[in-house]
Amino acid sequence: PALSAKTFTGSFGTFDDVMTIDGTVNCTIVSLLILLASGVFTYVFEIVSFAIVGVIIALVLLIATMFKPQWAPKTVPLYALFQGAALGGISFVFNQMYDGIVTQAVVLTVGIFFSLLFAYRSRLIKVTENFKLGVVAATCGIGILYMASFFMSMFGMGQMPIMDVTNSSLFSIGFSLFVVVIASLNLVLDFDFIEEGAERGVPRYMEWRAALGLMVTLVWLYLEILRLLAKLQSRR
């Protein structure tokens, strides 16, 4: 997740041109279209090597934007371009393992996004302080597990079994399902943070910063759905 309660706080000053919900929606749509086009290009032409390059450059752009949000109008489209290239390569590898899994993951990601957006806008889900604390705590716990698995693999100990996409045990599948739920709930937090940012009257470039936050969460959700579907497919 790349949005938090601190994203839209601080000394921004007074601006005539301020962040709006509609502006954030437009920035998000543009960013997602760039990401989709880049991903489709990499996927169709089977340029798997773009995945590693895309991830590295996208990570650099993400960090730069988080420290310098005023750069967001330029860095976020570039992030979408390189992150899309990475996702295209990753998706191609998964689809080679299990044909049709990418289409399923895309449909589920889009479905979850719009379902939660509707639930949030209609106030079926209330973002209380306890809700925020619960989601943030679970997200931090997942992050610690992923970091531990990463360092284990770096030192030749192999990744944690529950991270293996070929591990079809009920425990491993249950873990992936839990991560998908937490990733989905982070979207609700993003919606709430964006609404709060618009109410604060922060500068307009924060629309792109907010779009970045939504993209990061959607990418995480999509990848976790891919992992979950791969584990389910491996049971067959």
Tell me: the pLDDT tens digits for 87-107? 999 999 999 999 999 999 999
Q: What is the pLDDT of residue 15?
A: 59
User: What does the alpha-carbon distance between residue 192 and residue 185 come to, in Å, rounded to a whole number?
Assistant: 11
Q: What is the pLDDT of residue 45?
A: 92
Q: What is the pLDDT of residue 14?
A: 57
Listed as ranges, residues in the chain with pLDDT below 50 are none
Contact in structure between 228 and 173 (CB atoms under 8 Å): yes
Q: What is the pLDDT of residue 16?
A: 61
Q: What is the pLDDT of residue 1?
A: 72
- Helix, strand or coil, per DSSP, at residue 119: helix
Neighbours of 188 (CB within 10 A): 20
Nearest to 83 by CA among 111, 61, 64, 63: 61
pTM of the model: 0.91
Q: What is the pLDDT of residue 5?
A: 65
Residues comprising the chain, all counted: 236
- Helix, strand or coil, per DSSP, at residue 168: coil
User: What does the alpha-carbon distance between residue 201 and residue 48 come to, in Å, rounded to a whole number?
Assistant: 42
